[in-house]
Amino acid sequence: MVTGASKGLGQALALALAEAGAGIVSVSRSPDGTTAEQVTALGQCYHALELDLRKATPADLEATVQRAVELAGRLDILVNNAGVIMRTPALDYPEADWDTLLQVDLKAVFFLSQAAGRYMAQHDGGKIINVASLLSYQGGILVPAYSAAKHGVLGLTKALANEWAAKKINVNAIAPGYMETDVTVPLRADPDRNQAILSRIPAGYWGQPSDLKGAVVFLASDAAKYVHGTTIDVDGGWMAR
């Protein structure tokens, strides 16, 4: 199960898992675009579930996991990728934006993980992979709610790993660096911000969603069976500076 698999990072993560032999259940509030045809072209089954995480309750997320199991027959891997970001100076940050962002980027991550964890605990374990961010470590600019949520994702990853490792559930995270996606268009369109970001990346260029493929396949595989509570940075060396 991959949330936000219709485009961007989520699509790349779904395709990586499909290439490695996994069937995919997509959870998205928008049409899946080309993800479905690309996954099925790889010979894997694909099921799309529509759910708006901005409004989803814990009961909705529990039902989504149950529906995924009904459609696919089992659930071995959950990738919590879906997220939103709103940029506003902290002095003016609206409560509505704060609530929406924390709902999608943190609350939904926990309750979907909880629902998947309940299933996995009774079916010989599984893998939960959260998509964190460089702002899981840093404060950023104009993104107080996003930074707070992504810091929370790192803490949640460790907390769930502590409780669920003995149940054969691996909970880990991937922290993407600056990637060429729809979310980063405003940054890349601003010549000053774009140059400031590029000058800080040792690799010297923005990442592509496909750069996350190796990390997600590793964390979803038996090669990572003794990896718990870890975050893999895929950032062109940003955090090494």
| pTM score, whole prediction | 0.97
Section 220-232 average pLDDT: 98
Cα(173)–Cα(96) distance, integer angstroms:
27
Task: Please check whether the domain covering 2-181+209-235 is classified as CATH 3.40.50.720.
Answer: yes
Q: Is the pLDDT of residue 72 over 80?
A: yes
Burial label for 91, CB within 10 Å (0-12, 13-18, 19+), is exposed
- List beta partners, residue 183: none
- What pLDDT, on the 0 to 100 scale, is given for residue 30? 80
> Which residue in this structure is represented by tokens 């959870």?
27
% pLDDT > 70, the chain:
100
Orientation angle between helical segments 108-121 and 144-164, nearest 10 degrees: 10
**Which residues lie below 8 Å from residue 47, measured CB to CB, with a gap of 6+?**
23, 24, 25, 26, 68, 71, 72
Do residues 170 and 227 make contact, with C-beta atoms less than 8 angstroms apart?
A: yes
Give 68-96 as a DSSP string: HHHHHS---EEEE---------GGG--HH
Q: How many CB atoms lie within 10 A of CB 143?
A: 21
Lookup: tokens for 34:
């080309």
Cα(84)–Cα(3) distance, integer angstroms:
12
* 119 in catalytic set: no
- What pLDDT, on the 0 to 100 scale, is given for residue 33? 75
* Identity of the amino acid at 149: A
Section 99-106 average pLDDT: 98
Do residues 103 and 90 make contact, with C-beta atoms less than 8 angstroms apart?
A: no
Of 137, 146, 205, 226, catalytic: 146
Cα(238)–Cα(134) distance, integer angstroms:
8
- What pLDDT, on the 0 to 100 scale, is given for residue 32? 66
Per-residue pLDDT tens for 148-159? Answer: 999 999 999 999
Average pLDDT taken over every residue of the chain: 97
Do residues 144 and 93 make contact, with C-beta atoms less than 8 angstroms apart?
A: yes
23 compared with 186, residue with greater pLDDT: 23
**Which residues lie below 8 Å from residue 16, measured CB to CB, with a gap of 6+?**
210, 212, 213, 214, 216, 217
Cα(10)–Cα(23) distance, integer angstroms:
15
Lookup: tokens for 225:
């069976």
Q: Is the pLDDT of residue 74 over 80?
A: yes
Per-residue pLDDT tens for 6-64? Answer: 999 999 999 999 999 999 999 999 876 799 999 999 999 999 999 999 999 999 999 99
- What pLDDT, on the 0 to 100 scale, is given for residue 66? 98
* pLDDT classification of 181: cutoffs 50, 70, 90: very high
Residues in the chain: 241
What residue ranges do the domains of the chain occupy?
Answer: 2-181+209-235
